[in-house]
Structure formats: C-alpha cells, structure tokens
C-alpha cells in the first residue's frame, strides 16, 4: 500500500499523482485529457481502446472525488449511478452482516474499477471506504453503457472487469474454505506484494493501510490470529513486521507458506 507517501523504491509512476492536495479540478474534467494524464490508465477502463474509441470515451462526464481516511464513497443501499476507478490511495469494500458487523470482501488499489456489483439490484450491496486519503474517478454507468454500444473493446472490458473480480473472489473463497490461518496470511501478503509490483512499487517492502481487524475479516479469522501469525513469520525470519510496515525477507518461504496460488 502506501500510495500517498513517497516510499516506493521501485520505478514508481510519475510522482504527480501522489499530490493529494494538488490543484486539479475536483469534478467534471474533460475525460480525454484527464485519462490521458492518469497514471493508472493502463489498468483502467480505457485500457486497450483505440484512439477512435477514446473519442467516444471522451463523451463521458467523469468526476473526481476525494475521500479522506475512513470516509465512505458509497454505502450499502445507495442508489447505483456511478462506477468508480481508484486514482490513488486504497479502499476496502465491506458488506454488513445481519448482526451489524462488517465483513471486508475486497481491498482496492490504484487502477481498480469498483462498483459493478451494484448492477445486480441498482443499489450498492457494499460500502466503499477509503483506507487513507485517496482520490477516485466517478463514471456515470448509463453513459458508460451508451458509449460501450459503440466499442466492442470497452463492452467486453466491462464484463471482463466483473469476471476478474469473480475469479479473485473464488480464489479467496478457496483460501478461506480450505486453509489454515498461516496459509491465509501468507497468501494475503504474497497477493499484496504482487499487486504492489504490478503498480511499480517494491514487492518486498510496503505499508499495510488496513488494520489487523480488516485483514482478519477479509481472511475469515480474528485480528489476534493475524497478529500472532505475523509475529510467527517474523520469528522465523520470513518477514519483518514493524507495526504496519512489512518487509519480506524470504519471498520463497512466504510463497511456500501459503501453499495456494
């Protein structure tokens, strides 16, 4: 994680997007220019579209929104109007259990497109909460649907985003259903490490932006178990844990510990 501080040691994306307090207009920019400069465009909706298609895409009335740590972009039950793309910062998606507790179902990093699950009912089934100060791009879904009529790439990309989420959910399901706490935490760290690397950050050193409770909820255990497991990994020299700062000392051992893809 750690998308706001400048701790990336790997070839980081142009540092401009880290400027949380920057002077960019907060909403309804021209999407063509907005997307052209967006550091995460390769992961976003426009990925793979031709120039011709980008013209159509430019018709979208995109809006940027900032979210402070702990703030919700949308909540369970909110009317579905926008799909969102993370520009920088990180988020968690949670559902509300019948007893009122929260269950984390996903963590989102820059470039992730979020909210398509709301197409099921027209209302958001999840709450999207910022884990740190962050910025997100709001894309009107009805307009997106219009534009996708004229672009096969975009049309299929929309379904592919949902499909990718399904694949991830199934892997998570398998992880929770058939592995022990240690394997879950290892898998979580490896997954995070890989996602960091994909975004140009170090896969071996990063900050967790979520609490132990969030991780525990996501992995189907308790915060105590997460804490104990991290300590155990540290004791064995696999990682170094210092509050939320994680250093992977032995990636092979970590991968071996997860026993899951």
Q: Which residues bind its own copies (CB under 8 A)?
A: 95, 97-99, 101, 103, 105, 116-121, 125-126, 145-146, 148-150, 152, 155-156, 158-160, 162-167, 169-174, 176-178, 217, 219-221, 259-261
Q: What is the C-alpha separation between 236 and 173, in angstroms, rounded? A: 28
Interface residue with DNA among 76, 211, 249, 253 (CB under 7 A) is 211
Between 2 and 165, name the residue whose CB sits nearer to its own copies: 165
Which region among 36-44, 76-84, 158-166, 227-235 touches DNA (by CB under 7 A)? Answer: 227-235
Q: Which residues contact 109 (CB under 8 A, 6 or more apart)?
A: 1, 3, 86, 90, 195, 196, 199
Q: What is the C-alpha separation between 233 and 223, in angstroms, rounded? A: 15
Interaction of residue 182 with DNA, rule CB under 7 A:
yes
Between 4 and 193, name the residue whose CB sits nearer to its own copies: 193
Interaction of residue 228 with DNA, rule CB under 7 A:
yes
Helices 181-198 and 212-219, packing angle to 10 deg: 110
What are the C-alpha distances in Å from 87 to residues 6, 40, 80, 139, 167? Answer: 16, 7, 20, 12, 23
Between 155 and 228, name the residue whose CB sits nearer to DNA: 228
Contact 160, 115 (CB under 8 A): no
Residues within window 24-63 making contact with DNA, judged by CB under 7 A: none
Contact 249, 237 (CB under 8 A): yes
Contact positions toward DNA, by CB under 7 A? 180-182, 208, 211-213, 220-228, 230-231, 241, 243-244
């Amino acid at each position: 994680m750690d998308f706001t501080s400048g701790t990336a040691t790997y070839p980081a994306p142009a540092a401009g997007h880290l400027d949380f307090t920057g002077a960019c207009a907060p909403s309804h920019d021209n999407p063509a220019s907005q997307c052209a400069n967006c550091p995460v465009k390769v992961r976003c909706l426009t990925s793979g579209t031709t120039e011709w298609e980008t013209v159509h895409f430019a018709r979208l009335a995109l809006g940027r929104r900032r979210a402070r740590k702990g703030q919700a972009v949308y909540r369970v039950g909110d009317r579905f109007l926008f799909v969102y793309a993370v520009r920088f910062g990180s988020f968690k998606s949670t559902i509300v259990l019948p007893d009122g507790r929260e269950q984390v179902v996903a963590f989102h990093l820059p470039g992730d497109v979020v909210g398509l699950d709301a197409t099921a009912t027209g209302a958001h089934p999840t709450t999207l909460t910022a884990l740190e100060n962050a910025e997100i791009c709001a894309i009107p879904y009805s307009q997106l649907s219009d534009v996708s009529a004229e672009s096969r790439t975009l049309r299929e990309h929309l379904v592919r985003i949902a499909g990718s989420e399904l694949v991830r959910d199934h892997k998570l399901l398998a992880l929770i259903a058939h592995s022990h706490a240690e394997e879950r935490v290892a898998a979580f760290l490896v997954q995070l490490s890989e996602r960091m690397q994909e975004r140009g950050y170090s896969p071996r050193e990063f900050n967790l932006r979520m609490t132990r409770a969030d991780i525990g909820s996501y992995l189907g255990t308790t915060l105590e178990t997460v804490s104990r497991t991290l300590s155990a990994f540290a004791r064995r020299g696999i990682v170094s844990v210092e509050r939320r700062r994680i250093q992977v000392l032995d990636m092979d051992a970590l991968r071996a510990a997860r026993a899951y893809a």
